[in-house]
Amino acid sequence: MQFVASPLRQQFVATPLRRGGYEVATTPPKCEVKPEVTNVAPKNQKISDDSLRGSSLVAISALTTAQIATILKTGGAMQELVTTQGADESLKGKILASVFYEPSTRTNCSFQAAMMRLGGNVIAVNESSSSVAKGETLSDTVRCLETYCDVVVLRHPRSGAAAEAAAAMSKPLLNAGDGVGEHPSQALLDLYTIVDELTGGRGSVAVAAASEESLAAALKGKVVTMVGDLKNGRTVHSLAKLLGRFDVTLLFVSPMSLRMPAEVVAIAARDGSSHTEHEMLTESILKETDILYVTRVQKERFESVEEYDKVKDAFIITPDTLAMMRPDARVMHPLPRVGEIDPACDSDPRAAYFRQMANGMYVRMALLRLVLG
């Protein structure tokens, strides 16, 4: 077995938690999969396969595969729109309320840019500028805000907050990340990027996602390796659940203390996708990987700096790492990165994370167009 050395730090890319660390393929403990809190549509209506109009997006599992294909196909159309004419006025007169109780650059800005590209307007609220500082509940906040807008985009540090807020509203709410729970729009833009990168790029996803069948064919047999903080990373939680419905092999690579939650693994596996768990990122894993999805170790989720320091540099991707991957493989990251990908990798054409970031606006334009009609 060969470990991948990082010349910058004279260490393994995947640092074991104990001496004599080794690659481990495990079967997660059986876990009862509880029903997920899913999308909350106005008047408690279930989201239909043919329309997202007026629906909230709280959890990725509530979307049908047909809806996912529609979102990706519409995202391709939005990319073409931005490339050829910059913007349109399809949502003129509509207002988005951006409500972010945690710091955000890409998600917040891309949602706002998406709304403005479609001719709409934005009002922005954060924790310091809202009445939450006076003790107002989240439910009261969103009930007030929906009287001023047509859709609310919510980022909150507490898992389950998006479902709570959506249940209090009659207008659509889009979950922009709730604690360690989910980040459904990120999962959609990640899937958009995976399909686009593996089918030639330059908007080819619009063709690949023309139907459920063509989307499934584009993903068939692919190997997606998720690396890093899988315990706290809401992006990988949503993406694993989303990819689980396709014929994709999932490899979960993390320190033992940051393993993918058993409930997420069980949901990802219930549709028949195969998966294994590993403590080491080995050369054999890299050679079979189509998509290497890297995540940062989330310092803000740790109870102490000491616990964070034990695992913060467990996985570092360097040019030497990329040298062991296939020429057609890709490296993705939801960003921000804090050292887990050496900037020297950025010039490699397989580094897709900045293209992935750009795709976020197209997919969020698609969501807004479909939800607001």
Q: Which of 73, 94, 117, 155 is catalytic?
A: 155
- 107 as an active site residue: the answer is yes
Task: Report residue 179 as tokens.
Answer: 């604690």
Q: Would you report the helix, strand and coil content of the chain in percent, each value rounded to 5?
A: 40, 15, 45
* AA identity, residue 103: P
Q: Which of 70, 74, 107, 141 is catalytic?
A: 107
Q: Check: CB of residue 296 under 8 Å from CB of residue 337.
A: yes
- 134 as an active site residue: the answer is yes
Q: Check: CB of residue 273 under 8 Å from CB of residue 248.
A: yes
172 three-state secondary structure: coil
130 three-state secondary structure: coil
Task: Report residue 142 as tokens.
Answer: 């969103």
What sign has the CA pseudo-torsion 173, 176, 182, 183?
A: positive
CA–CA dist 123, 131 (Å, integer) = 15
CA–CA dist 85, 6 (Å, integer) = 44
- 278 as an active site residue: the answer is no
Picking from 44, 178, 41, 21, the residue whose alpha carbon sits closest to that of residue 99 is 178
Cβ neighbours for 308, distance < 8 A, ≥ 6 positions apart: 297, 299, 302
Q: Which of 73, 117, 171, 183 is catalytic?
A: 183
- 301 as an active site residue: the answer is no
Count Cβ atoms below 10 Å from residue 124 Cβ, excluding itself: 13
Cis previous bond, 255, omega within 30: no
* Number of residues that make up the chain: 373
Q: Which of 9, 53, 106, 337 is catalytic?
A: 106
Cβ neighbours for 85, distance < 8 A, ≥ 6 positions apart: none
- 19 as an active site residue: the answer is no
Q: Check: CB of residue 168 under 8 Å from CB of residue 139.
A: yes
123 three-state secondary structure: strand
| Residues involved in catalysis | 106-107, 134, 155, 183
